Every structure is written in structure tokens, then in C-alpha cells.
Chains A and B, each alone.
Chain A
Amino acid sequence: MQAIRKHGLAAASLALLLAAAPPVSAAPGEQFLPLATYRVGAYASSGIPVWAGMIDYLRYINEVEGGINGVKLVWQECETEWTAEKGIECYERFKNGLNGAPVAVYHPNGAPAAYALSDKAAADRIPLITLGYGRTEATDGSVFPYNFPVMLTFYSEASVVINYIAQREGGFDKLKGKKIATVYHDSAYGRETQGPLKLLAEKYGFENIQIPVADPGNEQSAQWRQVRQAKPDWVFLRTWGVSTPVAIKTAARFGFPVERIIGDIWASSDEDVLPAGDAGKGYLALTPYPGGADFEIHKRLKEHILDQGKSDLKDPKSFGSVYYNSGLVNAAIAVEAIRAGQARFGNRPLTGDEGRWGLEHLRLDEARLEEMGFLGLLQPLELSCSDHEGGGAAKVQQWDGEKWNLITDWVAADRATLRPLIDAKSAEYAREKGVIPRDCRAEQ
């Protein structure tokens, strides 16, 4: 009797597992897009809308557009909890494809995994797309052929914020003597903008104040007391997770005006400002994928995916949120890179090397963005062997207590000023690792 009960329980558990597992069998001729996700753990609230955006767009490509030039997409999830070790496990599971469907591009979806996989993916010849995070020096594709910090690196982000402040102050000459404090997450991510801000401070003559917040950042009185003493004109907030709402609330407590705080790409979502309540009204933030559901792609998704009950979104309120839109943009970059690769290699599933070629020849001009339904949501991009970033612009949005409102068009970074810093870092990396840089001119 006990054995029957035990076997019954095992069978029921297996049935439950099978029922819960998504349909992921791949057929020959399909392209595999691995999804390294974090639906549980400390960062789940940020991740869940991102995966919904990615999956909804991939489903739209399959069901409405019939795949990429007829090549259907198949995807499978693997839980990383935003950790490096699980991120590596997922990568190892996925790198050889799924039932014969190859991997053309890979999203590590998290800075720890991106850093851990950087060399490994290069050895396996699989390109990593790290949109808005990862190594800035990987902009130099001659040294980092398989790393793509597409659209906006942290260096560009720092430059965008200074350019925006200059706009607000009435010109670059007005920056002289101003105080700009960066309150940053004390991690590799947070420290990444120190170099470019030092350079820009020297160029424009503003005082560059750096104040670190140690992880997780749920108590920041000491940091905001320093801000209060320093009396900066602007605060550039480069926090992540819980440290953002805590920073906004603590700033209010210390009397620092919220409309003088500019959040960075990872401090610019609904999830960052909602817990701050009224203290968040007027908060500014940079974003390479603005919030809002009025873009053309949202109309198409609503008609073909959401209204048909096919969306991965559990909470319909998140449709058009910053993180949902970031999922759309991430998926669109992957789809368009594969499309670009197909133009050279034929309309078939691509390998990692072919995916890399596609990424290095990705051209998204306004006409193509309009066709895709992404005009205004995704900036024009042009990647190449020597430029794996390709864009370098962000919009500035402001929180009104209920939603984000865009207050600028694309603000471009001063990439020419920053490029020598990037080249110096990539050259140092090449020396350390013994990498012989590719000749990008020969590959044009």
C-alpha cells in the first residue's frame, strides 16, 4: 500500500512537471533562441516583464510574420537567479543548440553571467548580446569579436547624462564650476562610469563627486548625508534593485530635490519608482528603451498576441512598462541580427559564427524601424567589426507618480571623446590575454 502511495505520488509529481513544462521541441530548420531567465530570487520582479516582452515578440514573429524569412524560432528557458554560476550552467546546456536547432546569438541576461561567459563564449564562437550592461571595452570588436554591448554602454550612458545636464544648464560652458555627484552601486557595474566621468569633468570643468552605496543598499542615510553636505547641482543615480527606491526616498528625507536626480538605465523602471511613492514624483531617468504602450509594435502585439490570450504577461498592467519594452528591444536585436546574417548565408538557421556576422552587419535605420514598428522605441543602429555598440543614445523620461513621460528625444553620447578610453582598455585586455586583434579594415 505504501509502495502504491509512493509510486502514485511520483507519478503525480511527474505529471505536474510535464504539464508545467513549455513546448520546446525543435524541428529541423528551426532557429534556437536560448532564454537564460530569472523568474525567482531577488531580481525576479525585474526579470518577469523582460521575459514576457521577449517571448511575446518571438511569438509574434513566428505566428504573424511566419518566422524570420520562413525560419521559425524555438526557445527554451533556464533559471539563473541572476547568478554567474547558474548563468554558466544554462549556457553550457544551451550552447550546442536544441534538437539540431542551432544557437546564433546568446543573451546572458545579467552582468555576473556576462563577465563569466565572456571568454568562454569567444572560445565556443557564440556571440553574446549584452544590451545596456557588460564590458564597455567590448565595443572594440577587433579584440572582443563575440561580445556585443549593443546600443548603450556605461561609458555612453555617462556621456549622455552630462550632455543632458549641459542642455538643461544652457550649454557646455555652463558646466564649469557645477557639482555633479554620482551615487553608485559599489560593484563592477557601479564603478564602470568613474573613468568617463573623470575625463568629462576635466573636459568641461565640473566637480565630479563619487559616493558608493554597498550592496544591497537598503540603508543609505550616510550616503545622502554626504550628498547634503556636498550640495551638488545634480545627482546621477547608478543603483540597482532595492537600492534605487531607497535612494529616492532617502534623498527626499534629506531634502534633495528629486527632479535633480537622474537615474541610469538600471534605475529607470516602474519597479524602481513605485515603492518610492510620492517621493518619486519628478524623478528623471535615462533609458534606451522608453516605457509606453503607444508604439506601433504594441498595437500589433495587442491585436495578435495579447487579445488572443497568447501573451506571457501575467500582469497586463506591465504591458508597455520599461522592462517589458526592454524585452521587446532585446528580442528585436536578436531577430534582426539573424535576418542580417540570412542575407549573406541564406534563409536557414544560423550558427554562432554566422550570428556574429549578422550582428556586425546590423543596420537599423529609421525606415527599417518604422517597418518593424519600433520607431521611437529603438534608436537607429549601425554595428560593425570595430563598433559593437552602434548606437550610444538614450532618451530622458520623468516619473509623474503613475507613469513615465518622455521629456527628450534621443540624446547622443560624445562617443568620439570616449573612444580613446575604450581602445586603451581593450588594448590592455588584449595584452593581458594575449589576444591578437582582428584587422577590422580587412574585414569590411
Chain B
Amino acid sequence: MNVFLETLIGGLLAGTMYSLVAIGFVLIYKASGVFNFAQGAMLLFAALTFVSLREQGVPTVLALLLTVLVMIVGALLIERTVLRPLVNRSQITLFMATLGLSFIIEGLAQGLMGAQVRALDLGIEDVPLFFGEIMVSQFDLVAAGTAVALVILLALLFNKTRIGISLRAVADDTRAALSIGINLNRIWQIVWAVAGIVGLVAGLLWGARQGVQFSLSLVVLKALPVLIIGGFTSIGGAIVGGLIVGAAENLAEAYLGPLIGGGITPWFAYFLALVFLYIRPAGLFGERTIERV
């Protein structure tokens, strides 16, 4: 029983790390209906910028602020050079644009800041904590706390501020939002900047765990099943989806893995997502689209 509980709790906590990545996708999808393929590249760029600044001797807090600034400037540039010229184009066009963007950002990040692996120490000890016989990772607890804090902040942004209400209006009906004078370009700039900052938070936590290197951009692969399960338009859904994926893949590896040779974590999350697609195509918290014909 202890092993089951420990696996479940460890999986749930690991899942919050996936949720952190998934939130960045949700923000952009909510505002523009575009699946931002470049989210992983943005996460890599943010983490690389931060560690590069730290290597230059910039104090941590200043490095953090400067990285946030870089991500905001990046968002403005993306909106001006990629999104604005493609306004009113189909969603697949915008998706392809983000695909190209991901290669540009990855190449730029490695070209400007180097391809070598960097260590990132956030001062959070990755040591085991014991609650009775159940072991929990201190690092995972901090990551979970960060995810909760991020969700609260984003909820406040969306529900209590003028920008957030405008953003929700754009997400609900872009044409209606434009007709009442909401500046779509500004909304996109803000959303991409916020997604960049969320990417920074996720990049720092993942970077602290595995080192800051190119493979950081691959952690987005873990976010896809989370989004399918939780829904592409719900931040809460990203959290719940992450918890489900984390717990399910850990339990599957522990109990199903030995029966079928192990190494099943990557595809099991996608298998689970496929099952959810059959049952709830819009995900647990996603918005169902109803088209009248």
C-alpha cells in the first residue's frame, strides 16, 4: 500500500511539472486558437538567457528581471513580424508559422548563447523527505507550489483586470471583441509575453532538474497529452491533465511496466490521451464547439 501511495503522490507531483509547460500553450490557444509549436523553443530560450546572464555575473534577481524583459521584447517582435502579417489567415497557417518560429528561436538561442550544457542551481535541494514510510521529493513539492501560485496569478489576471477581461472577450469571439474596440494586436503581444514568462518559470524548474540544454525544448512533448486530457482552453484543465498524466504514467510504469518489458512512460501518456479523445474530444475542461449546419 505504501508503494502504491508513494508512486501515486510522486506521480501527481511530477505531473505538476508537465502542467507548467502546458499552461503556456493554453494561454496562446485561448487568445488566438493557435497551437503554439514554438512554446518549447521559448522555454529553452528563456532558460538559456537566464543562465547566460548568471554566467556573466549578473545577480539572480536582476538576471530574472532581464530575462522577463527579453521575453517581453521577443513577444513584441513575434507579434509584429510573424502574427500581424498573418492576421485573418487560417489557423493552420498560423500553426505553420509557429513551427517555423520554433526552429528560428532554437537556432538563435544556440547560436547566440552556445550549445553547451549548463548547470542551473536554484537553491532548491532535490533531496527526499519522508512522511512516515512515504518518500516525497522536496523539489517536486516546490514545483507543485510554483504551479499553484502561477495558476492563482493567472486567474487574477484573467478575472480581475481589464486586460484579462479583454483577453477573454477575444477568446470567446474575436470579431465581436474587435467590433467593440479591443486591440487584437495588443492582446496578442500581452499573451505571448505572459506565455514567455510562464515558459521562463517552466524552463527554470526543468533546467534545474536536467540542465539547461537543447533537450529542454523537447519537454513540450509531455505537454501534448496533458492538453488533450485537460482541454486546450483551460488553465485549470492543464493542471488536472498534468496530475492525471503524472500519476497514470508512474503507476503504469510501476505495475504494468514489469509485465510488458518496461519503458512505457512516454507512450502511455499518449495512449491515455487517445482514450480521452474518444470519450471527451474537447478534454475535461475544454470548450465544446457547436457548429450549426
Contact = CB atoms under 8 A, between A and B. Distances in A.
B159 interface: no
B210 A246 contact: yes
A142 interface: no
B86 interface: no
A274 B119 CA distance: 6
A257 to B, nearest CB: 13
A39 B57 CA distance: 27
A415 to B, nearest CB: 29
Interface stretch (B9-17, B59-67, B179-187, B223-231): B9-17
Interface string B121-153: 100001110000001010100000000000000
B262 A212 contact: yes
Interface string B200-220: 000000100111111100110
A83 interface: no
B218 A216 contact: yes
Given A42-B218, A44-B115, A211 B10 contact: no
B117 interface: yes
Interface string A309-348: 0000011001000000000000000000000000000000
B114 interface: yes
B10 A242 contact: no
A58 B266 CA distance: 42
B210 A218 contact: yes
A40 interface: yes
A275 B261 CA distance: 29
Contacts of A276: 119, 211
B126 A252 contact: yes
Given A221-B11, A221-B250, A245-B210, A229 B3 contact: yes
Given A40-B110, A253-B128, A254-B135, A225 B6 contact: yes
A395 interface: no
A271 B254 contact: no
Which residue, B3, B213, B261, B263, has most C-beta atoms of chain A within 10 A?
B263
A215 B213 CA distance: 16
A219 B211 contact: no
A41 B206 CA distance: 18
Nearest to A275: B211
Interface in B217-262: 218-219, 222, 249-250, 253-254, 257, 261-262
Contact of B211 (A39, A211, A222, A242): A242
Given A219-B265, A254-B128, A274 B117 contact: yes
B214 A215 contact: no
Contact of A253 (B7, B127, B265): B127
Given A242-B215, A271-B116, A252 B127 contact: yes
Interface bin, chain A: 35 or more
Interface in B1-45: 3, 6-7, 10-11, 14, 17
A45 B213 contact: yes
A135 B135 CA distance: 41
Given A40-B110, A219-B222, A222-B254, A212 B261 contact: yes
B264 interface: yes
Interface residues of B, number: 46
Contacts of B281: none
Contacts of B128: 253-255
B168 interface: no
A398 interface: no
A216 B218 CA distance: 8
B118 interface: yes
Contact of A241 (B17, B127, B215, B267): B215
Nearest to A222: B253
B107 interface: yes
A225 B121 contact: no
Contacts of A253: 126-128, 137, 139
A144 B116 CA distance: 36
Contacts of B263: 186, 212-214
Interface in A198-256: 210-216, 218-219, 221-223, 225-226, 228-229, 241-242, 245-246, 249, 252-255
Contacts of B249: 222
Nearest to B139: A253
Given A213-B263, A221-B11, A274 B214 contact: no
Interface string A42-55: 11110010000000
A139 B37 CA distance: 44
Contacts of B119: 274-277
Which residue, A45, A223, A229, A253, has most C-beta atoms of chain B within 10 A?
A253
Interface string B269-283: 000000000000000
A248 to B, nearest CB: 10
B55 to A, nearest CB: 11
Interface of B: 3, 6-7, 10-11, 14, 17, 107, 110, 114-121, 126-128, 135, 137, 139, 206, 209-215, 218-219, 222, 249-250, 253-254, 257, 261-267
27 contacts: A39-B115, A42-B215, A43-B214, A44-B214, A45-B117, A48-B116, A212-B262, A213-B263, A214-B265, A214-B266, A218-B219, A221-B10, A221-B11, A221-B250, A222-B253, A222-B257, A222-B265, A225-B7, A241-B215, A242-B215, A255-B135, A274-B118, A275-B210, A276-B211, A277-B119, A315-B114, A318-B116
Given A48-B115, A186-B262, 7 more contacts: A42-B218, A44-B115, A222-B250, A228-B135, A253-B127, A274-B119, A275-B117
Interface of A: 39-45, 48, 186, 210-216, 218-219, 221-223, 225-226, 228-229, 241-242, 245-246, 249, 252-255, 271, 274-277, 279, 314-315, 318
The 8 closest A-B pairs by CB, nearest first: A275-B211, A212-B263, A222-B253, A186-B263, A44-B115, A214-B263, A242-B215, A212-B262
